[in-house]
Amino acid sequence: MQRFILKNKNSIALIGGILIAIGFLSKWTIDNRLVLTWSLITASILGVAPIAIQAYQALRVKVVSIDVLVTVAVTGAFIIRNYEESAIVTFLFLFGAYLEQRTLNKTRSAIKELTEMAPESALKQMEDGEFTEVDVDEVDAGDILLVKTGAKVPVDGTVINGEGSVNEASITGESIPVAKEKGSKVFAGTILDNGTIQIVAERVGEDTTFGRIIELVEEAQDSKSEAERFIDRFSKYYTPAVLVLSFVVWLFSRNVELAVTILVLGCPGALVIGVPVSHVAGIGNGARNGVLLKGSEVISDFSRLDTMVFDKTGTLTAGNPSVAEKEYYGDDIDKALVYLASVERESDHPLAKAVLEDIGEMPFLPVENTEVVKGEGIVASVGGHRVAVGNAALMERERVTLDEKMKSDIDRFEKKGNSLVLTAVDGELKVLMGVRDQIRPGVEADLLKLKKLGVRNLVMLSGDNQGTVDAVSRELGLTEARGNMLPQDKSAYIRRLIEEEGQIVAFVGDGVNDSPSLALANIGIAMGGGTDVAIETSDVVLMNSDFSRLPHALGLTKATARNMKQNIFIAVGVVLLLLASLLFSEWMNMSIGMLVHEGSILAVILNGMRLLRYRLR
């Protein structure tokens, strides 16, 4: 029976609220006090049942929780026939518990999402030299595997034959595929965009980088699930104090009604509703402004933030490489762009796509005698001209003469973290393009707002190379930036900040690879356009991936935390005032006390509702 009642306490709260409404409506419309009385009695009995069970369970483990005080106070109010107070207090208490339960319970669907993304099969080389599809669980370290275009890499390993481009977004978060050749490392869960490779398995199953991501998310979510709610901590002192005070008063006065009145006046109605109403109003404001906050514990930690850590791609940057800068040299640039577009149309490399998007609509010419120079670019014949498109090494190979301005431009582009696309026609450099994942518009101003709101450290962790990371860091004025970071490196860094340096850390990211860090950080903040796993694992979601909502989110949580403290002060202050007046004055009685008590509930509700109008100054 206890299990059934606790399981259905939300339904009980709803029924209690309906009964209270029916009772007061019958009084105000047809002045039927019999319906009012029995509605309140029924609501009180139903409402106190789950609270009393929780109080009993707490006392069994020697904890005097707030449930104990509410149970005793409601019972006392019921004994002296103050059914109105007993019914309202039980409803408010259960409704507050429902609000916390709904927002604080963390979903475990992220683990399921991650598991479904893991590779399930592999092409394994058998004893006869042929490759046969087997379950990934049948792969052992040392096995030779074949990975074809479009397939997932099944294990962590090393390429022993073939070459291709691998999309490592699930591991590093970077959008540009990485070229793989003999000797290159590959990771489970990544996707071979083009080419065919053979790999030797080194880490399989749960030992792979992808498997460790799942494990890290699981551990990090468990580590945060033990946090206690503030009200329960406060009640360890408040509840026994009110009970002892009531007992002492009865012991000396032998006045049962006075002792019960102390319990009723001491019942924390405003305290019970004050924190949830601030919390709900803050969440409501956030929802209207593109910020999803997943609970009051999130608000508390977020408001005391020390350090904010960012993933780069898709968070500080747009997530799609595009032409950021370009320089033209000499004459006939329009023709050179036609030749460039014609060559790049033959490639499916992300840099080629970025170049074509920048050039726009352009007539194409036939491309002949194409030669792909591994790691450098493409040389081809277009319209009777020898066209070379690639990096600086290709220009050197083609003996393209570079003057001082060209060399200066190339050096400047590289320092800004660009991937270079140079185009030479018949041995003369015509076009220099810098392609990079560009910083989101307005990010620099938003980071400045975060600093003004009290964030001391702004840190970027990225799977990209250190040169690119440093370039972005310099442009944004970050405190620290680290490149070449795998998911376990990011989570280890965050763990050190939290456990060794005692900082309150928020992590902002959008990819599957970010999920361990999102779960481990005190506050995980996901971009709404990111993966479902990142969104489920996080504590805060910026809807539509709008980075500008981040300062509003931080300012809102600070305002909400202040509002919660104000409501606690009002609730506790009123209770202390009522009890002091009851014990040390002649004018305080049950009726006046109830009026002030209900007034305090209205005060904290109105104070909490102010958050709905909050705007970041």
Active site (catalytic) residues: 311
| Interstrand relation of 540-542 and 523-527 (parallel, antiparallel or unpaired) | parallel
Q: Extract long-range pairs of 377-380: CB within 8 Å, 24+ residues apart.
A: 378/343, 378/346, 378/347, 380/343, 380/346
Residues in the chain: 617
Report which residue type is found at 28. Answer: W
In this structure, which amino acid lies at residue 315?
Answer: T
Burial of 5 (0-12, 13-18, 19+ CB in 10 A): middle
CA-to-CA distance for 126 and 373, rounded, in angstroms?
34
Structure tokens at 40: 């309140």
Pseudo-torsion of CA 128, 133, 138, 143, nearest 10°? 50
∠ Cα 508 313 550 (to 5°)? 35
Q: Are 604 and 564 in contact (CB under 8 A)?
A: no
What is the Cα–Cα distance from 607 to 531, expressed in whole angstroms?
Answer: 37
Q: Are 240 and 64 in contact (CB under 8 A)?
A: yes
Residue 551 phi, psi (nearest 5): -60, -40
d(CA 55, CA 44): 16
Q: DSSP H helical segments within 289-361, as ranges?
A: 296-303, 333-344, 350-359
Mapped onto helix, strand or coil, the DSSP state of residue 596 is: helix
Record the tokens describing residue 331, joined without a space: 């004459």
Rounded Cα distance, 409 and 420, in Å = 11
Which has the closest alpha carbon to 155: 167, 138, 172?
Answer: 138
Coil vs helix vs strand at 164: strand
Backbone angles phi, psi at 511, to 5 degrees: -110, 170
Q: How far is CA 343 from CA 328, 362, 386, 401, 422, in A?
A: 18, 12, 11, 21, 12
Give the DSSP letter of residue 184. Answer: -
